[in-house]
Amino acid sequence: MAKVAFLGLGVMGYPMAGHLQAAGHDVTVFNRTAAKAEAWVAQHGGSMAATPREAAEGAEFVMACVGNDDDLRMVCTGENGAFNGMSDSAIFVDHTTVSAKVTRELYDAGATRGIAFVDAPISGGQAGAENAVLSIMCGGDQAAYDAAEPIMQVYSKICRRIGDSGAGQMTKMCNQIAIAGLVQGLSEALHFAEKAGLDGRSVVEVISQGAAGSWQMANRYETMLDDHFDHGFAVDWMRKDLGICLDTANETGASLPVTALVDQFYKDVQKLGGGRWDTSSLFKRLRALD
């Protein structure tokens, strides 16, 4: 069993760190709001630290799941950042969805200190984290990935190295691009069914068994029809992720017209007060247009 630090106890990090402790690893947690770390220790055991640096001292693996590029820089290279507490044999695994640019920046910063850095963004939402069935897409050196993979397997359904540093984040962008189009398509199908006087549940029972079927359809159509939008990944975070996708597309020359359009639809959802609604709330936007 390994000594592990876990930085960030949001809706994803909290259960992920819990799975590590339950698997027998020695886990020290850090969270910007200390009360969350205190609650985690009361529930799971382990220990908590006042700073990322303190959490990382003596750890073989440091896992992070924070908010954005700036948050990640802070927990890595800030005055009390984890890099300042890590040994040169430790491995930093970042589960945050951030830009490939900051990933490569921190990979290089770690390399100068002898610290390996693996970008390992996750997909599967809150339910995936709670049930330990996340999909993890990774970038970084093969040896570092091989060492960290058994730790990540504790809370994953699939964990795979895609390529060098940044490849994990680029793959997560593909994931978010695909989800944006799928959720909009499902929303429009349900909206069309309602306007046509059809029973949405009956429609989905049939079409989900054919080529139209998807995870979004199987897991979200009922809550969408019931006007419930509190099932995980929030619109505010999706817009952050799609912004990264669109910025990267501008850099690489990729064309993302549907993604750009859906990003604006999510902006409409925010204007409706739905920044914390889950991403399936694109359907609520269509209903609001009636």
For residues 208 and 80, membership in a common domain is answered with no
For residues 132 and 158, membership in a common domain is answered with yes
Domain at 217, CATH number: 1.10.1040.10
pLDDT of residue 249: 98
End of a domain among 125, 149, 164? 164
Q: Which residue matches tokens 């995980």?
A: 232
For residues 17 and 160, membership in a common domain is answered with yes
Structural contact between residues 100 and 162, judged by C-beta atoms closer than 8 angstroms? no
Q: What percent of the chain has pLDDT over 70?
A: 100
| Catalytic residue (choose from 3, 101, 172, 195) | 172
For residues 192 and 146, membership in a common domain is answered with no
What average pLDDT is seen over the chain? 97
Give the total number of structural domains in the chain.
2
For residues 217 and 139, membership in a common domain is answered with no
87: domain range? 3-164
- Assess whether pLDDT exceeds 80 at residue 238: yes
Q: What percent of the chain has pLDDT over 90?
A: 97
pLDDT of residue 65: 98
Residue-wise pLDDT tens digits, 124-165 = 989 999 999 999 999 999 999 999 999 999 999 999 999 999
Residue-wise pLDDT tens digits, 39-97 = 999 999 999 999 999 999 999 999 999 999 999 999 999 999 999 999 999 999 999 99
- Assess whether pLDDT exceeds 80 at residue 232: no
Residue-wise pLDDT tens digits, 92-124 = 999 999 999 999 999 999 999 999 999 999 999
Structural contact between residues 68 and 102, judged by C-beta atoms closer than 8 angstroms? no
For residues 188 and 278, membership in a common domain is answered with yes
CA distance between the termini of the chain: 57
Which pLDDT band, with edges at 50, 70 and 90, does 234 fall under?
very high
Nearest to 227 by CA among 276, 272, 168, 287: 287
- Assess whether pLDDT exceeds 80 at residue 2: yes
172 is catalytic: yes
Instruction: Name the β-bridge partners of 163.
Output: 139
Structural contact between residues 126 and 39, judged by C-beta atoms closer than 8 angstroms? no
For residues 94 and 193, membership in a common domain is answered with no
End of a domain among 132, 147, 164? 164
Nearest to 279 by CA among 98, 125, 68: 125
